[in-house]
Amino acid sequence: MKHYRHLFSSKQKHQAKPRFKWRAGMANFLLSQALLWGGGAAIAQTESTAPTESTETLDYGELLQDIRQNQVDKFILDPETNTAQVTLRGQTEEEAQTIQLLNNNQELLAALRENNVDFEVVPSQDHSVAIAIFTNLLLFGILIGGLVLIIRRSASMQNNAMNFGRSKARFQMEAETGIMFKDVAGVEEAKEELAEVVTFLKEPNKFTAIGAKIPRGMLLIGPPGTGKTLLAKAIAGEAGVPFFSISGSEFVEMFVGVGASRVRDLFRKAQENAPCLVFIDEIDAVGRQRGAGIGGGNDEREQTLNQLLTEMDGFEGNSGIIVIAATNRPDVLDQALLRPGRFDRQVTVDYPDRLGRLAILEVHAQDKKVAEDVDLEAIARRTPGFSGADLANLLNEAAIFTARRRKEAITSSEINDAIDRVVAGMEGTALTDGKSKRLIAYHEVGHAIVGTILKDHDPLQKVTIIPRGRAQGLTWFTPNEEQGLTTKAQFRAQIAVALGGRAAEDIVFGYDEITSGASQDIQMLTNIARQMVTKFGMSELGHFALETNRGEVFLRNDWFGERPEYSEAIAQRIDLKVREIINECYETAKQIIRDNRQLVDRLVDRLIEEETIEGEDFSRLVNEALGQTIDLQKTASVV
């Protein structure tokens, strides 16, 4: 009763619940099951051995008298239970009566012989002994099984405690990644550097003979999806040596010292299997710069990093262990991790260029049915800034569109839809409101015509009013990958084009009818204008940086805020200059819309009719209307 009062008492309902003791609970469960089985079997045995009662019964004396008077028609003896089934004259077998016999039945047997009674001996199938034996064995087995379970659970808990500090690295004696260097495309410079690692592992004497040392570590740096992990798999596949792979997050645990123990265990196993490769993916999870957190304490992550630094710099010469790590955040890594002797080489794996994208598309198109008229080179030109993962996803989306449309092969139509899907999202429902549709068309044509007329802007790729994702309309431009640097005129052209949509709304519908569709454009152009003033020195404020690097995001600077290194007067002049640049570019965009108002109206009508205008068609219409060729050089790179 105390237990139930404790559970249901309103005064103690907020107290902590007692912890369940699983061992005691398991023992109680096993005991109750054993008693249940044993009790059930005993009851069954008792019921099976109890004599069957009938409505009319004979005693032993009456039975002898009936036999001597020839009233017994049939007598069936059961020696197992020492009972008899007696059928009197005029009765059927169903009406037979059961009588319990004496231990000594010589007189009864003599009477049966003298009166020639039909006599049979039929032993019954009595399983009482077997049931008793089975019940005892079952009870014994349950108890033994429960003890074994408890012992194994205790041993498992002890082993888990002992294995807690062991490395979780996946180990392959002969790495069967299924990936070779021929399967990796678009990163030829990185492949060339990493190919030396394979040579180091296969022919170390070739380098040690002339005094060269095998590099201890190689750091793959690059944005997500560019193929860093794929390169590590290719190295393992080419080298054919033992391969350890682990993620940086698998080192760090909530218990202090576990991460360092796992690092020691990993490198101990690597020493036992040298020469080998150790690949640490996302090393920034454990290699982040020390002292960045609040208080700067030597926490679990820092202890793990300290042990990693010690292990990497503590190898004996030419031990044959090469550590390869990958990260997309090299700016947050500890400097001690990047010095020679630990990561001797840093290989940058950047976004592929046009030729690299073409090579990647050719690799991923090998296992897909692509129509002969699909131009992979044209796709490569249309996808600047795509990573290898993006291109693989692009062809996969195209294959999904093909299967959905029940076509035999991927065509240019599926490729175009896949590009739009990857860049902007799923195609939405077309607008039915005529006013909203025309307003969006003017907005997008405003972007497109300003970008087409300004010679310093990138060429137009496509303009559409088909909703995708959260956007009601989209205008794409193809950036020039070969340029590398951006001029002041190009920055101003980007701002003017971003304001082209708002300028068209302002001129055509009036200032009171401008919409929120330019919110992202305004955010982007404000960032460009501020960088022109504070970072690139493209204003009258001077050729010096007014924007300092924020450093790493993890609490060191941004958490507490950082005071600018300039006065309030300079900050006010920065704001005024940013506003001046934006206003000048806005006037440029509005002037282009005013000067070409009739052309804008015709382009809007066509866009509403066709919903999408390709860049070449749009530029041709503008050139025909203006009577001159404005952007031959820009359209030369447009697909």
Task: Give the residue numbers marked as catalytic.
Answer: 444
3-state secondary structure 225-236: CCCHHHHHHHHH
First-residue to last-residue Cα distance in the chain:
83
b/e map 151-170, b = 16+ CB within 10 Å = eeeeeeeeeeeeeebebebe
Starting from the edge strand earliest in sequence, which strands make up the sheet with 243-247, in order? 170-172, 243-247, 276-281, 321-327, 217-221, 345-348
Helix, strand or coil for residue 476? strand
Task: Tell me the two tokens of residue 395.
Answer: 């062809």
**Packing angle, helices 500-509 and 568-595, rounded to 10:** 60
Determine the Cα–Cα distance for residues 137 and 438; give it in Å rounded to an integer: 87
Task: Tell which residue, 330, 229, 246, 342, has the closest CA to residue 288.
Answer: 330
Give phi and psi for 235, each to the nearest 5: -60, -45
Determine the Cα–Cα distance for residues 137 and 135; give it in Å rounded to an integer: 5
Task: Tell which residue, 508, 495, 460, 496, has the closest CA to residue 480.
Answer: 460
Across 160-286, the runs of DSSP E, i.e. the strands, are: 170-172, 217-221, 243-247, 276-281
Task: Tell which residue, 58, 57, 54, 44, has the closest CA to residue 126.
Answer: 44
From residue 274, give the alpha-carbon distance in Å to each of 201, 318, 352: 10, 10, 34
Q: Please tell me the chain's helix, strand, coil percentages from 3-state DSSP, rounded to the nearest 5.
A: 55, 10, 35
Determine the Cα–Cα distance for residues 322 and 194; give it in Å rounded to an integer: 11
Determine the Cα–Cα distance for residues 250 and 266; give it in Å rounded to an integer: 12
The CA R_g of the chain, rounded to the nearest whole Å, is 44
Task: Tell which residue, 272, 87, 104, has the closest CA to residue 173.
Answer: 272
